[in-house]
Each structure stands twice: as C-alpha cells, then as structure tokens.
Amino acid sequence: MVRAIVGANWGDEGKGKITDMLGETSDVIVRFQGGSNAGHTIINEYGKFALHLLPSGVFYGHTTSIIGNGVALNIPYLCREIQGIVDRGVPKPRILVSDRAQIMMPYHILFDEYEEERLGKKSFGSTKSGIAPFYSDKYAKTGFQVSELFDEALLKEKVERVLEQKNILLEHMYHKPKLDPAELYQTLMGYRDMVKPYVADTALYLHDALKEGKTVLLEGQLGTLKDPDFGIYPMVTSSSTLAAYGAIGAGIPPYEIKDIICVVKAYSSAVGAGEFVSEIFGEEADELRRRGGDAGEFGATTGRPRRMGWFDAVASRYGCRMQGATEVALTVLDVLGYLDELPVCVGYEIDGTVTKDFPVTAKLAKAKPVYEKLPGWKCDIRGIRSYGELPENCRGYIEFIEREIGVPITMVSNGPGREEIIRR
Ligand code: GDP
C-alpha cells in the first residue's frame, strides 16, 4: 500500500512532521521530486532537525529511505546530511539512491546564482540550490544520471561535450570564469565514490516491497501552488509537487497510491515571489510571523522571512483537488489562539466578479480577497489530544475549513512535536 504526503499550499505546511509521525507505520519512505531547495523541520526524541534531501522518515530503525529517480540529487549534500544526523545520535539509516536519479552538478548551482543576478529585480527568488538549471538540463537531455558515473569513458566524453555548451554561456552571457572538463571529471569521480554504497534499482526494490505487502510513504516537497503545471507559473518550482508525480518520481504504478494525505496550513505563508491573494502586511503580519515561531518566521532552507496571510479557502480547495486528496491534515492551528477573529478568504473578486475557483496566474494578479470572519477561541490549545476538548470556536474554524475544502480533516496538528496531533 502506498500513501502520499503532499502540500496543498505554497510549501512549509508541516509535511515533515506528518511524515515523521506516519513513518512509524511505514516500511519505506520515498522522496520523489525536488532537491535540497526546501526543508522539513522535524522535532522528535533525537532533537530538532532541518532535513533537505533525506526523507523525514530516516529516524526509525525499521524504515528504508529512498531518494527516487525524480529527485535532484546533490551527492555531497546528501552525504553531509547523513553524517549530520548520525553525529547527533540517530542510528545510521538504511538509504537507497536510485541509479536513475540525476546528479546536481556544481555548475547548476552557479547558473542558478548567475541567472538570478542577471534578472535582478525580476528574479524568481530562487533558493539558488540549482534546481531550475538542473531540471532544464534533465529535459534538454544534457543531465547526468547516477548510473553514468560508473562508465568512465562515457562520462569523460559527455563532460567535455556538455561543458562546451556551458562555457559559451558562462563566457558570453554571464561573463564568468569557464569550467575545466578535467576538474569536473575528477569531482564526479569523487561523487561516484560517495554515492556508491547507496545506489540501487529503487523501482525494482519498490516493486518487490509492494508485492510483499509493505507500506510505502511518498514524501512531497513544497505544495500544489508551486507545481509547474498547476501552480502560480512562472513563480513555481521546476519539478511537479503533485502526488500523481509520485508514481513517476518513485517508479511505481499510479494505482498503488491509495491514500493521499494533503497537508493544509491553518493560515497562509509563502517564501519567494509570486501572487498571494490573502497576504497581510505590517504589524498584523509581523505578529502572526512572531507567534508562528519556527513555523512562521523563516524558511528552513533559506532563512528568508516568510510572507504571511490569512487562510485561503480558494487556494486550499484547489490545492487539495489537484493533489487528489483523500484526507487532510490541518497544521499549525495552535498559533492562531491569540486572535479575536479569524478572517478566511472564501472567494476572489476579479474584475467585479466573485469566484471560488482558483484562476490562472494573469487573473490571479487581479484577484482581491473576499473575507468571512470567524470568532477566535482566545486560548492555548497545545497539549489537547482529543477533538472534543478543543474550544467550540476552534472546532467551528476547523469545520468551516472542512466544508470549504470539501475533504475530511482527519488530523489536526497543534504543535511541532511528533505527538502533538489530534486524530478525528
Ligand atoms: P514542510 O516543508 O511542509 O515539511 O514544512 P516545514 O518543516 O518547512 O515548516 C513547518 C514548520 O512548522 C516547522 O518549523 C515545524 O516544526 C512547524 N510545525 C509543524 N506542525 C506544527 C504545528 O502544528 N504547530 C506549530 N506551532 N508548528 C508546527
């Protein structure tokens, strides 16, 4: 059986926590897209961790963690991350890296920086982890697969061929130093030695695991609104953030994904540029950011302050629909206990017409939020473990959101810790 944990919003919904929690009842946990460009914050018995490339289930002795073929694999980063958790007392995790995963090249990171620099004010607000140049090369068929590291003649020839093109761009477009093929080849030999212990045919491994009745968890990065097809293009990421892509990025049949747990944040936050209809500013935003603590203030990868907003039911319903959500985990609800009333964005007004359907980007830019206000509960709900014990207004907020998004909310998260969850 395969479950997917994916985001309905702009990312940072708290997927890491839910994955860490559900890892307990999983055998295999798979990252299927993205790279080290977004972080998951996990708090458990070993301490507090910000993972970027490893699946959030690496803390259990019984799980196998897979870096799927769909991931942008930064090999030195992965090795550092593994060492980093082992150094802090986590048992050495069992990790498999797909032989079909493509490699984040050092120049992808350089091109990401150079391009943002070139764009200046029009930049994408990239995390500069090389993600866009990486996926561009993958689909332009000039990327490097892990398997190619083990064929020295092929690799040498390909490095020369690819750098010929990269050096033209470096010299004439960006006016930056050119790259030396011999040096890059040596770097890749180093990568080969680092990654060798983990390389496997992970699609075959998953096929066998599913045949044996094992439970597999797919961990998504970012959320629907950052998907290249269904998000706020072009202010999106470069690999699909949808559960459907989990089948491709992990190498499993689509019909195996039985449960799609969509993580929805109880208010809105986003890092990076792009349309954000229910965004708030000034003291109102600062207060929410401050109250959010780790959940509110800064992106786990970049340390950039997050943009804040009220709950957006239009975006979240769309976010859940495009994920194919079968259930919802509503997170970070505890942060909202200070508010007298909670505005919820229930519609977008575009050119004088109110819609509840999330539009394409050009229309989104014109959208103004239509708010409905719900009464606050004015207390701290952390520590509560049963739904019935939540204050009435808090339940009212949850049930209002549930009606708006049209998917059952089966879990309510009221704190960052693994145990801070209310199941309904
Ligand atoms: P992800 O990318 O979706 O995994 O989300 P992140 O880990 O980047 O961001 C979520 C942040 O919220 C982290 O700092 C979590 O520790 C924190 N968090 C998750 N769930 C809750 C919750 O229910 N309440 C609070 N206060 N924080 C939470």
CB contact set of 300 (below 8 Å; sequence gap of 6+): 12, 38, 39, 40, 41, 50, 52
What is the pLDDT at residue 121?
A: 85
Q: Are 387 and 414 in contact (CB under 8 A)?
A: no
Ligand 1 pocket mutation, candidates 18, 19, 41, 298, criterion most atoms within 8 A of CB:
41
What is the pLDDT at residue 56?
A: 84
For ligand 1, atom 18, name the residue with the nearest CA: 416
What is the pLDDT at residue 113?
A: 94
What is the pLDDT at residue 296?
A: 62
CB contact set of 64 (below 8 Å; sequence gap of 6+): 27, 28, 29, 94, 95, 96, 205
Distance 286 CA to ligand 1 centre (A): 18
Q: Is the CB of 39 under 6 A from ligand 1?
A: yes
Q: Which of 161, 159, 166, 162 is nearest to 181 (CA)?
A: 159
Ligand 1 pocket mutation, candidates 43, 332, 419, criterion most atoms within 8 A of CB:
332
Is 175 a known active-site residue? no
Which amino acid, one-letter code, is at 201? D
Distance 74 CA to ligand 1 centre (A): 24
Q: Is the CB of 413 under 6 A from ligand 1?
A: yes
Angstrom distance (rounded) from CA 11 to CA 301: 12
Angstrom distance (rounded) from CA 188 to CA 73: 13
Ranges of H-type helices in 41-105: 75-87
Q: Which of 393, 279, 396, 401 is nearest to 331 (CA)?
A: 401
What is the pLDDT at residue 108?
A: 97
What is the pLDDT at residue 298?
A: 62
| Residue 247 burial (CB count, 10 A) | 19
What is the pLDDT at residue 297?
A: 65
Angstrom distance (rounded) from CA 345 to CA 356: 10
Kind of pairing, strands 307-309 and 268-270? antiparallel
Which atom of ligand 1 lies at the shortest distance from residue 13's CA? 3
Ligand 1 pocket mutation, candidates 17, 268, 421, criterion most atoms within 8 A of CB:
17
Is 40 a known active-site residue? yes
Q: Are 390 and 383 in contact (CB under 8 A)?
A: no
User: Which of these is catalytic: 12, 20, 99, 112?
Assistant: 12
343-354 CB burial, b ≥16 within 10 A, e <16? bbbbbbebeeee
Q: Is the CB of 115 under 6 A from ligand 1?
A: no
Encode the chain (424 residues) as per-residue pLDDT tens digits. 999 999 999 998 999 899 989 999 999 999 999 999 877 888 888 999 888 999 888 889 899 999 999 999 999 999 999 999 999 999 999 999 999 999 999 999 999 999 999 998 888 878 889 999 999 999 999 999 999 999 999 999 999 999 999 999 999 999 999 999 999 999 999 999 999 999 999 999 999 999 999 999 999 999 999 999 999 999 999 999 999 999 999 999 999 999 999 999 999 999 888 999 999 999 999 999 999 877 666 655 556 678 999 999 999 999 999 999 999 999 999 999 999 999 999 999 999 999 999 999 999 999 999 999 999 999 999 999 999 999 999 999 999 999 999 999 999 999 999 899 999 9
Which atom of ligand 1 lies at the shortest distance from residue 333's CA? 23
Q: Is the CB of 300 under 6 A from ligand 1?
A: yes
Distance 11 CA to ligand 1 centre (A): 10
Which atom of ligand 1 lies at the shortest distance from residue 331's CA? 23
136-160 CB burial, b ≥16 within 10 A, e <16? ebbeeeebbbbebbeeeeebeebbe
What is the pLDDT at residue 299?
A: 58
User: Which of these is catalytic: 20, 27, 40, 52?
Assistant: 40
Q: Is the CB of 40 under 6 A from ligand 1?
A: yes
